Structure 1
Amino acid sequence: MMFSPSSAMRMEEGEEENKPEISRDRDLEDQLQLQGGAELQPHQKWSDHITLRGLLVSMMIGIMYSIIVMKLNLTTGMVPNLNVSAALLAFVFVRSWTKVLQKAGFVSKPFSRQENTIIQTCAVACYSIAVGGGFASYLLGLNRKTYELSGVGTPGNSPNAIKEPGFGWMTAFLFVVCFVGLFVLIPLRKIMIVDLKLTYPSGLATAVLINGFHTQGDKMAKKQVKGFMKYFSISFLWGLFKWFFSGVKDCGFEQFPTFGLQAWKQT
Structure 2
Amino acid sequence: MENRDGESGTAVSGYDSTHRDEDERDVLSVEQIFESKTIPPWQEQLTFRAFFVSFVLGVMFSVIVMKLNLTTGIIPSLNVSAGLLGFFFVKSWTKFLEKMGLLKQPFTRQENTVIQTCVVACSGIAFSGGFGSYLFGMSETIAHRSTDGPIDPQTIKNPGLGWMIGFLFVVSFLGLFSIVPLRKIMVIDYKLTYPSGTATALLINSFHTPQGAKLVKKQVGALGKFFSFSFLWGFFQWFFTASDGCGFASFPSLGLKARDNR
TM-score (norm 2): 0.78
Aligned-partner residue type, residue 186 of structure 1: V
For residues 160 and 109 of structure 1, what CA distance do their matches in structure 2 show? 55
| 2:164 is aligned with 1:170 | yes
* CA displacement, residues 87-109 of structure 1 (integer Å, 9 cap, x when unaligned): 11101110111122123331231
Residue matched to 1:218: 213
2:173 aligned to which of 179, 195, 220 = 179
Residue matched to 1:117: 113
* CA displacement, residues 36-67 of structure 1 (integer Å, 9 cap, x when unaligned): x9795333234421111101111111111112
1:227 CA drift (Å): 1.3
Residue matched to 1:62: 58
1:115 CA drift (Å): 1.0
Summarize the Cα distance change of 1:51–1:152 in structure 2 as closer, same or farther, 3 Å threshold. Answer: same
Q: Name the SS of the counterpart of 1:87 in structure 2.
A: helix
| 2:254 is aligned with 1:255 | no
Residue matched to 1:237: 232
| 2:43 is aligned with 1:43 | no
1:1-267 superposed matches below 5 A: 30=25, 34=29, 40-153=36-149, 158-190=152-184, 193-194=187-188, 195=190, 197-200=192-195, 202-215=196-209, 216-261=211-256, 263-267=258-262
1:147 CA drift (Å): 2.2
For residues 223 and 231 of structure 1, what CA distance do their matches in structure 2 show? 13
Q: Name the SS of the counterpart of 1:135 in structure 2.
A: coil
1:137 CA drift (Å): 1.6
Preserved contact between residue 98 and residue 108 of structure 1 (Cα < 8 Å): no
Aligned-partner residue type, residue 185 of structure 1: I
Aligned-partner residue type, residue 210 of structure 1: I
1:206 CA drift (Å): 2.9
Preserved contact between residue 129 and residue 178 of structure 1 (Cα < 8 Å): yes
For residues 142 and 99 of structure 2, what CA distance do their matches in structure 1 show? 54
Summarize the Cα distance change of 1:235–1:144 in structure 2 as closer, same or farther, 3 Å threshold. Answer: same
Summarize the Cα distance change of 1:203–1:55 in structure 2 as closer, same or farther, 3 Å threshold. Answer: same
TM-score (norm 1): 0.76
Residue matched to 2:14: none
Preserved contact between residue 69 and residue 79 of structure 1 (Cα < 8 Å): yes
For residues 122 and 45 of structure 2, what CA distance do their matches in structure 1 show? 19
For residues 197 and 246 of structure 2, what CA distance do their matches in structure 1 show? 41
Structure 1 residue runs of 5 or longer lacking an equivalent are 1-25
1:148 CA drift (Å): 2.1
For residues 196 and 257 of structure 1, what CA distance do their matches in structure 2 show? 54
Aligned-partner residue type, residue 120 of structure 1: Q
Residue matched to 2:12: none
Identity %: 52
Q: Which has the larger radius of gyration?
A: 1
- Cα RMSD between the aligned structures? 3.0
Aligned-partner residue type, residue 44 of structure 1: P
